Amino acid sequence: MWYYEKKLQYPVKVSQCNPRLAKYLIEQYGGADGELSAALRYLNQRYTIPDKVVGLLNDIGTEEFAHLEMIATMIYKLTKDATPEQLVEAGMGAHFVNHDHALFYHNAAGAPWTATYIQAKGDPIADLYEDIAAEEKARATYQWIIDVSDDPFINDSLKFLREREIVHSQRFHEAVEILKEERDRKKVF
């Protein structure tokens, strides 16, 4: 189903070790509106979506895993050389005590990822509106992380991800219109 190319979708560089910024990025790793939640939401919803738009959910869900890989790389690069003291100072002490430098799916506040973040109603239009909202929340979160970041390299990658959220939202809007048109079409038997 997938072809894995051993490179990131977009380059990830960091200026320096910065566990404080990594803590904020963890929101997009294991938060409710993060990349893991999005990928699993879309790949799950594709089973109950009409064939006319199923490919869209598959494509975007797969791309979200590429975004998750980028976020993981950012977090790793920002923390790999951090001392335990730096991690504690950045508010990541509890993470360090539980996971050392390993990544773990939780949000910026430390709450573990949960399947309750994934929405699937079974109504294609309702699900697509949920997907639009998820993309817009992710876009906003990326912007807020950019606003508190002083790393120009990370900001470059985050701007790429923010723009992809906008594209995904637009594509989901298009899918809603396709399904509304199909729903409203007169059916003659």
Active site residues: 35, 64, 67, 135, 165, 168
**Residue 33 assigned as binding residue:** no
174, 130 in Cβ contact below 8 A?
Answer: no
136, 38 in Cβ contact below 8 A?
Answer: no
CA 146 from centroid of its chain's CA atoms: 15
How far CA 146 is from CA of 97, 119, 134, 143, 150, in Å, comes to 28, 27, 18, 5, 8
112, 106 in Cβ contact below 8 A?
Answer: yes
User: How far apart are the C-alpha atoms of 151 and 58, rounded to whole Å?
Assistant: 33
**Residue 168 assigned as binding residue:** yes
**Residue 64 assigned as binding residue:** yes
**Residue 173 assigned as binding residue:** no
**Residue 106 assigned as binding residue:** no
**Residue 63 assigned as binding residue:** no
Q: Which residues pair with 106 in a beta bridge?
A: 112
Q: Could you list the residues known to form a binding site, using ranges.
A: 35, 59, 64, 67, 135, 168
User: Per the annotation, where are the binding residues for Mn(2+)?
Assistant: 35, 64, 67, 135, 168
Q: Which residues are annotated as a binding site for Ca(2+)?
A: 59
